[in-house]
């Protein structure tokens, strides 16, 4: 069963990323209990993962399973893991579940969007409450300015569901599911940036800061690393060569370098284009290329290069969750190349196209404004 193999691989990735058994079990809970054949095959396949977390997950499934065949397979898998040297905690015999079960809150839910041209993105975090709705947090964060805005309010389950549906419909950029602990991690990072910049922290964030801190986990790498192998992507040289194509896609179409940063280079291109010195087209193009390389060198030799690396890694995750794996690999390939020092002889194709695009957008906007200005020439 291909679906079973896919889910087992996801569990393998979750274990490798250090996810807790609670998080892994919560992600599996909605998949189990519907098809005994599926559950039995899944329990059998988990015995292939020789990690201490796996027996605890199997024991959690055993507690909620009602099918004898599934229970038997779980016990067999636990025995196999134990025989491989994996520690299996001894548990007391299974007791019949009480008729009066305590109300259990749903697991927290996280969602996030991609970066826009300003380096801002939308994040949503829902923390359910037992027996009622939950706290719904919505915020826009910036990787340079921190918390741009943040709000939190109690909603019923139905209200939260409608709110999330409206966000997905109305957001200018797609919003995808994201681990709640990772969303909390990103909010906490943005909060630290706000403090470092001595910015104003939204009151709702201060009110809910404790819940966010309790939920967050520390992540050494962006989420995309749980889905795509960096070493594999690095080996696909053709991906990097197509890096500039990303700017033609809908999620990157609005990306451009801030006007205050790119204007000096746009002015130089304008001067070269309107120079009174008659230049051969190849000479003019050579001057343009020199300006582009200067912009790359001055804008992306330091921290800004790593800022864009992280943005591209986060965009790769969004693309992957949207089912656009090739574009996700493309975005990750560009990001991985930004780990290396800038090479002006073979510049990163994405950054080069971003510089060129940003310059000519600025020039086009200037031409448009100039065309709208009233003429001072008095017609006879």
Written as one string, the DSSP assignment of 282-310 is HHHHHHHHHHHHHHHHHHHSSHHHHHHHH
Q: Tens of pLDDT along 52-70?
A: 788 888 888 888 788 888 8
Alpha-carbon distance 21 to 55, whole Å? 10
Q: Which residue has the tokens 């510049």?
A: 347
Burial class (CB in 10 A: 0-12, 13-18, 19+), 374: exposed
Q: How confident is the model at residue 170 (pLDDT cuts 50, 70, 90)?
A: confident
CA 266 and chain centroid, separation: 32
To the nearest whole number, what is the mean pLDDT of the chain?
87
pLDDT digits (tens, 9 = 90+) for 288-317: 999 999 999 999 988 999 999 999 999 999
CA angle (113 as vertex; 167, 204 as ends), nearest 5 = 70
Between 36 and 264, the more confident residue is 264
Give pLDDT, residue 99: 41
Cα–Cα distance measured from residue 156 to residue 128, given in angstroms and rounded to the nearest whole number: 9
> CA Rg, the chain, in Å?
26
Question: Of 203, 193, 184, which is closest to residue 146 (Cα–Cα)?
Answer: 193
Token pair for residue 299? 């804008």
In sequence order, the 6+-apart residues with CB closer than 8 A to the CB of 167 are 111, 122, 124, 138, 175
Q: How confident is the model at residue 97 (pLDDT cuts 50, 70, 90)?
A: very low
The Cα–Cα gap between 338 and 309 comes to: 6
Q: Among residues 89, 62, 65, 167, which one has the least CA distance to residue 121?
A: 167
**Measured CA distances, 348 to 201, 240, 301 (Å):** 37, 8, 12
User: b/e for 4-37, b at 16 or more Cβ within 10 A?
Assistant: beebbeebbebbebebebebbbbbbeeebeeebe
Q: What is the mean pLDDT of residues 263-271?
A: 94
């Amino acid at each position: 069963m291909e679906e079973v193999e896919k889910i087992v691989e996801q569990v393998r990735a979750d274990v490798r990323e250090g996810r807790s058994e609670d998080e892994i079990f919560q992600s599996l809970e909605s998949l189990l209990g519907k098809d005994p054949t599926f559950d039995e095959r899944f329990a059998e396949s988990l015995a292939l993962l020789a990690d201490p977390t796996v027996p605890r997950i199997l024991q959690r499934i055993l507690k909620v399973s009602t099918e004898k065949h599934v229970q038997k397979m779980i016990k067999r898998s636990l025995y196999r893991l134990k025989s491989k040297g994996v520690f299996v905690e001894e548990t007391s015999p299974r007791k019949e579940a009480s008729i009066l079960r305590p109300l259990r809150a749903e697991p927290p839910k996280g969602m996030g969007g991609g970066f826009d041209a300003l380096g801002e993105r939308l994040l949503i975090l829902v923390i359910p409450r037992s027996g009622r709705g939950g706290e719904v947090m919505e915020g826009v964060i910036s990787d340079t300015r921190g918390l741009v805005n943040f709000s939190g309010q109690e909603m019923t389950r139905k209200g939260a569901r409608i709110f999330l549906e409206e966000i997905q419909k109305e957001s200018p950029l797609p919003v995808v599911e994201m681990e709640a602990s990772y969303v909390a991690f990103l909010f906490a990072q943005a909060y630290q940036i706000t403090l470092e910049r001595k910015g104003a922290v939204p009151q709702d964030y201060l009110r809910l800061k404790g819940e966010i801190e309790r939920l967050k986990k520390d992540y050494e790498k962006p989420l995309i690393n749980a889905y795509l192998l960096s070493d594999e992507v690095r080996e696909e040289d053709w991906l990097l060569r197509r890096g500039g194509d990303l700017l033609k896609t809908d999620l990157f179409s609005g990306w451009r370098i801030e006007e205050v940063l790119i204007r000096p280079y746009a002015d130089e291109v304008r001067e070269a284009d309107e120079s009174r010195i008659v230049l051969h087209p190849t000479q003019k193009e050579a001057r343009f290329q020199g300006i582009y390389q200067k912009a790359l060198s001055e804008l992306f030799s330091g921290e800004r290069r790593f800022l864009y690396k992280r943005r591209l890694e986060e965009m790769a995750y969004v693309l992957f969750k949207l089912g656009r794996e090739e574009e996700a690999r493309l975005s990750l390939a560009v990001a991985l190349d930004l780990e290396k020092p800038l090479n002006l002889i073979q510049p990163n194709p994405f950054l080069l196209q971003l510089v060129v695009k940003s310059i000519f957008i600025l020039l086009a906007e200037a031409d448009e404004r100039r065309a709208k200005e009233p003429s001072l020439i008095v017609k006879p």
